[in-house]
Structure 1
Amino acid sequence: MNKQFAVFGVGKFGESVAVELQRLGCEVIAVDKDMERVEHIADSVSYAMQADFGDPDFIYSLGTRNLDGVVIAESVNLEASIMATVICKEIGVPYVVVKTKNERHAEILKKIGADAVISPEKEIGIKLARNLMKASFADWIALSPDYSIAESEVPKAWIGKSLKELDIRKKYGVIVVGIKWNSQVEVNPDPDEKLKKDMILILVGANNDLRKIG
Structure 2
Amino acid sequence: MRSIAVIGLGKFGSTVARELTERGARVIAIDEDRERVEAIKESVAYAVTLNSTDKAALESVAIRDVDVAVVCIGEDVEANLLTTLLLKKLGVKKIWARAITELQLEILKTLEVDDIINLEEEMGITIAQTLASANVGRYIPLSEGHSIAEIKLPDVYVGKTLREINLREKHKINVVALKRFVPAIDDLGERILKESIDNVPSSDEKLTDDVVLIVAGANRDIDRFSRG
Q: Same fold (TM over 0.5)?
A: yes
Which piece of structure 1 moves more, 5-14 or 72-81?
Answer: 72-81
Number of positions where the alignment pairs a residue of Structure 1 with one of Structure 2: 206
In the TM superposition, what is the alpha-carbon distance from 1:139 to its structure 2 partner? Answer: 4.8
Distance 1:204 1:46, change over 3 A: closer
In the alignment, which residue of structure 2 is the partner of 1:4? Answer: 3
Q: Does the residue aligned with 1:92 lie in a helix, a strand or coil?
A: coil
Shift of 1:209: 4.7
CA distance in 2, matches of 1:91, 1:120: 26
Return the letter of the residue paired with 2:109. K
- 2:42 corresponding residue in structure 1: 43
In the alignment, which residue of structure 2 is the partner of 1:125?
124
Equivalent in the alignment of 1:83: 82
Cα contact 2:135–2:227 (8 A) shared by 1: no
Question: Is structure 2 residue 28 aligned with structure 1 residue 29?
Answer: yes
Q: Secondary structure at the match of 1:76?
A: coil
Determine the structure 1 residue equivalent to 2:209. 197
1:136 maps to what in 2?
Answer: 135
Report the equivalent of 1:62.
61
Q: Does 1:110 align with 2:109?
A: yes
> Matched residue of 1:44: which SS?
coil
Give the number of the structure whose alpha-carbon radius of gyration is greater. Answer: 1
Distance 2:177 2:80 in 1: 44
Q: Which amino acid aligns with 1:84?
A: T
Cα distance change of structure 1 residues 208 and 62 upon mapping to structure 2, 3 Å threshold: closer
- Structure 1 counterpart of 2:224, from 204, 210, 213: 210
Instruction: State how far apart, in whole Å, the 1-side matches of 2:84 and 2:59 are.
Output: 12
Report the aligned-residue RMSD.
3.5
Q: Contact between 1:133 and 1:211, CA under 8 Å: does it hold in 2?
A: no
Compared CA separation, residues 175 and 196, structure 1 to 2 (3 A): farther
Structure 2, gaps ≥5 residues long = 181-197
Name the SS for the 1:43 alignment partner.
coil
Aligned to 1:18: 17
| Contact persistence 1:180–1:199 (CA under 8 A) | no
Distance 1:155 1:13, change over 3 A: same
**Unaligned stretches of 5+ residues in structure 1:** none
Change (3 A) 1:5 1:136: same
Shift of 1:212: 6.6
Greater shift in the superposed pair: 53-62 or 37-46: 53-62
| Equivalent position amino acid for 1:95 in 2 | K
Q: Cα deviation per residue 1:124-163 (whole Å; 9 max; x = unaligned)? A: 2322332233342255455765565644233224435799
Q: Distance in 2 between matches of 1:67 and 1:146?
A: 32
